[in-house]
C-alpha cells in the first residue's frame, strides 16, 4: 500500500460511525473487460487503484481496498455497453460478487444484445444471486421509456429488484446524452410505482434539478450520488434538505480519488443521524440487507 493510500485510509470507526457503510455504486476493475476510455479515467482520477488494476481483478483485494476506505458493503455493477465503456458482462460480475459475502451483484441488460430481456434476466438469476439491474441508456443507446424495456421493468417490480439508470454527462466516446435525461425515467416511475429506481449520478452536470424533482415527486425514485463530491451537493441541489432522505451513497469506485473523503464529507455535511440513513439504512433497505446479520458476518470474518 502506498503512502498516499495510508494517508487516505479511514476506517468506519475512525469516523465515529456506529453503523456499516454501503457503497451502492462500484465497478470491478477487471482490466480485460474495460475499454481504454474508462481505464484512462481511473488512471487520472485514482492512480493508486490504476496501479493496482491487476490485483483489483481479485474480489478479496477489492474488498480490502474498499475496507481501507471505510466501506464494508458494496454493490458491484455490470456494464454491458460495448460501444462506450466495455463489456463488463453480468456473468463475470455474478461470479466476482459471489466470492465476497458483502458484495452484491447488479446485472446489466442491453436491449440491443438480447432477444428477450426478461429471458436473459431469468437466465442470470439461475447462475447466481442478482440484487439489482444496471441500465446505461446513454451508453447503450436506448430511451429508458422505450416500450421494449417495459417487460423487464415489470419483472423487476415483481421480484423487488432495484433498477439503476445512468443519468447525466459522461466523457466516454460513443455516449449519447439525449438518453441521459432523468425526465425520460418519469414514465417508468409512473407506470411502475413499486419499482425501486436509482438515478445514478443524480443527473450529473446538466439535470440536477430534474433528478431532484423526480425524487420529490415519486416515492420509488432515489438519487445515487456516485461520482459527485458530497461537499458540492448544496450547490447542485439548493433544496437539499427536502431530498436528503432520498439520497443513497455511491462512490463510482475506482473512478474517484478517495471514497474515504466522500464518506467523511457526508458525515460532515448531514450530521450523524442523516448520514446513517444515506450511508447505510436506505441502501440496505433497498437491497434487503439486515444490519444485525451483516454485522455478525463481518465480526466473524475479522476473527478468522
Please give the tally of structural domains in the chain. Answer: 1
Is 12 inside any structural domain? Answer: no
> For residue 239, what are the contacts with CB-CB under 8 A and spacing of at least 6?
212, 216
Is 74 inside any structural domain? Answer: yes
- What is the pTM (predicted TM-score) of this model? 0.91
**In this predicted structure, what is the pLDDT of residue 12?**
55
**In this predicted structure, what is the pLDDT of residue 17?**
79
43-52, 171-180, 187-196 — which one is most confidently predicted on average?
A: 187-196
Give 178-233 pLDDT, tens digit per residue: 999 999 999 999 999 999 999 999 999 999 999 999 999 999 999 999 999 999 99
CA distance 103 to 105: 7
SS3 of 42, please? Answer: helix
Is 10 inside any structural domain? Answer: no
Provide mean pLDDT across the span 120-140.
98
Q: Does residue 118 carry a pLDDT above 80?
A: yes
Is 144 inside any structural domain? Answer: yes
CA distance 289 to 280: 10
**In this predicted structure, what is the pLDDT of residue 35?**
86
Q: Does residue 144 carry a pLDDT above 60?
A: yes
Provide mean pLDDT across the span 121-146.
98
Domain of 27, CATH number, reads 3.20.20.140
What confidence category does residue 9 fall into, taking pLDDT thresholds of 50, 70 and 90? very low
SS3 of 81, please? Answer: strand
Provide mean pLDDT across the span 78-84.
94
Is 297 inside any structural domain? Answer: yes
**In this predicted structure, what is the pLDDT of residue 36?**
87
CA distance 270 to 176: 34
Q: To which residue does cell 463530491 refer? A: 229
Report whether 225 contacts 233 (CB < 8 A).
yes
**In this predicted structure, what is the pLDDT of residue 46?**
93
Q: To which residue does cell 455516449 refer? A: 175
What is 137-186 written as a DSSP string?
A: HHHHT--TT-GGGHHHHHHHHHHT--EEEE-S---STT--GGG--GGGGH
Question: 297 lies in which domain range?
Answer: 20-303
Report whether 72 contacts 276 (CB < 8 A).
no
Q: Identify the residue with better confidence: 14 or 35.
A: 35
> For residue 48, what are the contacts with CB-CB under 8 A and spacing of at least 6?
2, 4, 5
- Cα end-to-end span (Å), the chain: 22
**In this predicted structure, what is the pLDDT of residue 227?**
94
Is 37 inside any structural domain? Answer: yes
Q: Does residue 304 carry a pLDDT above 50?
A: no
Q: Does residue 5 carry a pLDDT above 50?
A: no
Residue 266: closest CA among 234, 220, 301, 298: 234
Least confident residue range of 27-41, 107-121, 191-205: 27-41
Is 5 inside any structural domain? Answer: no
Least confident residue range of 3-12, 122-131, 147-156: 3-12
CA distance 22 to 189: 24
**In this predicted structure, what is the pLDDT of residue 171?**
84
Give 226-265 pLDDT, tens digit per residue: 999 999 999 999 999 999 999 999 999 999 999 999 999 9
Least confident residue range of 28-42, 183-197, 204-218, 267-281: 28-42
Is 174 inside any structural domain? Answer: yes
Report whether 141 contacts 178 (CB < 8 A).
no
Amino acid at each position: 500500500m502506498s503512502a498516499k493510500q495510508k494517508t487516505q485510509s479511514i476506517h468506519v470507526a475512525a469516523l465515529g460511525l456506529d453503523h456499516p457503510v454501503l457503497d451502492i455504486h462500484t465497478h470491478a476493475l477487471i482490466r480485460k473487460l474495460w475499454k481504454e476510455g474508462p481505464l484512462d479515467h481511473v488512471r487520472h482520477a485514482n492512480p493508486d487503484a490504476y496501479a493496482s488494476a491487476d490485483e483489483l481483478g481479485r474480489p478479496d483485494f477489492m474488498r480490502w481496498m474498499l475496507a481501507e476506505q471505510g466501506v464494508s458493503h458494496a454493490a458491484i455493477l455490470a456494464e454491458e455497453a460495448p460501444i462506450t465503456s466495455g463489456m463488463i458482462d453480468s456473468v463475470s460480475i455474478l461470479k466476482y460478487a459471489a466470492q465476497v459475502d458483502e458484495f452484491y451483484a447488479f446485472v446489466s441488460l442491453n436491449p440491443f444484445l438480447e432477444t428477450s430481456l426478461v429471458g436473459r434476466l431469468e437466465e442470470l438469476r439461475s447462475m447466481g444471486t442478482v440484487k439489482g439491474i444496471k441500465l446505461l441508456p446513454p451508453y447503450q443507446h436506448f430511451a429508458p421509456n422505450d416500450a421494449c424495456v417495459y417487460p423487464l421493468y415489470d419483472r423487476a417490480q415483481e421480484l423487488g429488484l432495484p433498477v439503476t439508470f445512468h443519468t447525466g454527462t459522461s466523457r466516454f466516446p460513443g455516449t449519447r446524452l439525449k438518453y441521459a435525461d432523468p425526465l425520460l425515467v418519469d414514465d417508468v416511475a409512473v407506470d411502475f410505482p413499486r419499482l425501486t429506481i436509482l438515478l445514478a449520478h443524480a443527473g450529473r452536470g446538466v439535470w440536477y434539478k430534474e433528478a431532484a424533482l423526480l425524487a420529490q415527486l415519486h416515492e420509488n425514485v432515489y438519487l445515487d450520488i456516485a461520482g459527485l463530491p458530497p461537499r458540492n451537493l448544496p450547490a447542485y441541489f439548493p433544496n437539499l434538505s427536502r431530498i436528503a432522505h432520498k439520497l443513497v451513497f455511491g462512490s463510482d469506485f475506482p473512478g474517484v480519488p478517495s471514497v474515504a473523503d466522500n464518506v467523511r464529507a457526508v458525515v460532515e455535511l448531514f450530521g450523524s443521524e442523516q448520514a446513517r440513513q444515506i450511508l447505510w439504512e436506505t441502501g440496505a433497505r433497498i437491497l434487503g440487507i439486515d444490519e444485525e446479520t451483516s454485522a455478525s458476518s463481518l465480526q466473524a470474518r475479522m476473527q478468522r
